[in-house]
Amino acid sequence: MGERVSVGSVGLLAGGSVAVRARVRARRRLVRVVGLVLVWVFVLVNVGVMFWLWVRGGLESGNLTNGSVGDIALSVSRITGLLGAFLALLEVVMLARLGWLERLVGFDRLTVWHRWNGHACLYLILAHTFLSIWGYQLTDFVPVSYWGETAKLVWGGVLPGMITATVGTGLLVLVVVSSVAFARRRLPYELWYAVHLSAYAGIALGWFHQIPTGNDLVHIVWAERYWKSLYVLTLVLVGWRVFVPLWNAFRHRLRVSEVVVEGPGVVSLRIVGPRIDRLGGASGQFFSWRFLRRGFWWAPLPFSLSEAPDGRSLRITAKALGDHSALMERLTPGTRVVAEGPFGVFTEAARRHEKVLLIAGGIGITPVRALLEEMEGDLIAVYRAAFREDLVFTDELDRLAGERGFTLHYVIGDHATPEGAELLSPAHLQELVPDLSEREVYLCGPTAMIERVERDLHRAGVPRRHLHVERFAL
């Protein structure tokens, strides 16, 4: 069943240390629960306001009382427009990658929210577009086809802001299509990122259509002010996202101090700068890095810390997966760096139990290696690779296992072979970790590996609430 190598042993802890860590985790969980409740209250209250504005506007315009098919279509188009526009603003906030929000929700869950919210936003806006045109067609005094009504509304100047709204909707469609898994796998990260940025333009263009034409807003002074305040708040959050990395770049003057080739296509960079400890960051987290060199500066590259922060430098490790990451070894000491972050909750702070299993696949070892340098307690680490030459940090991992007393398993084998296909199966996991169901699990690696191992962990009896996942994918 492939090659397996195990080193190290599990160390014991004093009861006092266990109790202190348990209290710290309980406080962190309380803060997170309160924060999540406040976030959901904000969202649900605003959704309630949207429905209230819809009812009031519908009563004033007669769409809710006239009862004709055209009026019903226009009425439904209004609520889909309001909700679609609000979800678009939420999408911008999630795109802004706010550190406090990621710490509350978790990067993996926030990614899922971002994807589903983006789809819901687009479908609501498309429904608003279709129903509006259909409703105006049915209520138009002059009979006209659906496409004739479309041309009349967009180009005829009947409603202001229709051209910009049409362009904005097209941009949102492009962003969602580029994020579908089939297209996402075939787009270079840099091109996908550039397309994703157009979501900001698409949402901004919708503004010129909303205020002048929204019956739910234009006739109610406080409603118009409320809507504008949502845009202002969103703009402030986006502006803060832009300002902080620039301020950190000025304050810390980050630069590359060392470039080390760890293996085929794998490069480590050490980043230094004055007061770099104030940048924050914990083992298991990642930053978005911009290297101020021709061909690199415009695309932020997300790389995890591969070493626990020591207050003097930060080390990141990248594998050649995209156009930019494949050129990382060409960076030279002295290259200036802009860092945005830290991001992610794949950290000690998410831990709830003393017994922990950490599973890494491929380059997913980077945050796991940093966690192993920092975590205390009953730890077992499993490092999965297709071939022995794919392993990195083996000397460091062996040293840490000896010094810190955790168990380390190297699991090597090609998953495409019959023997390799059984590696990390439920039976194999329970063979490696007999008390698997009692452990909290940190899992990091390529998406395909994550999906399979996550499924096998559940089959082996690991509850979902005990699983922390970090996906490494372009």
> 31 in a domain, yes or no?
no
Q: 164 and 103, same structural domain?
A: yes
Q: What is the mean pLDDT of residues 110-139?
A: 86
- Give residues with Cβ within 8 angstroms of 26, minimum separation 6: none
The closest alpha carbon to 347, from 442, 438, 277, belongs to 442
Q: 181 and 261, same structural domain?
A: no
> 280 in a domain, yes or no?
yes
Q: How far apart are CA 240 and CA 35, in angstroms?
A: 20
Residue-averaged pLDDT of the chain: 81
- pTM of the predicted model over 0.95: no
Q: What is the mean pLDDT of residues 194-219?
A: 67
Q: Residue 312: which CATH number?
A: 2.40.30.10
> 290 in a domain, yes or no?
yes
The closest alpha carbon to 84, from 177, 209, 232, 224, belongs to 209
Number of compact structural domains in the chain: 3
Q: How far apart are CA 217 and CA 227, in angstroms?
A: 8
What's the order of all strands across the beta sheet hosting 266-272? 255-263, 266-272, 313-319
pLDDT value at 116 more than 90 = no
Dihedral sign computed on CA atoms, order 62, 63, 64, 68: positive
Q: How far apart are CA 402 and CA 397, in angstroms?
A: 9
pLDDT value at 153 more than 80 = no
Q: Choose the final residue of a domain: 343, 378, 405.
A: 343
pLDDT value at 248 more than 60 = yes
Q: 328 and 232, same structural domain?
A: no
Q: Choose the final residue of a domain: 198, 222, 246.
A: 246
Interval 262-280: pLDDT, tens: 877 888 999 999 988 888 8
Interval 381-391: pLDDT, tens: 999 988 888 88
Interval 348-383: pLDDT, tens: 888 888 899 999 998 889 999 999 998 988 999 999
- Give residues with Cβ within 8 angstroms of 279, minimum separation 6: 248, 252, 273, 314, 339, 342
Q: How far apart are CA 451 and CA 429, in angstroms?
A: 15
Q: 324 and 187, same structural domain?
A: no
Q: 307 and 400, same structural domain?
A: no
Question: Amino acid letter at 248?
Answer: N
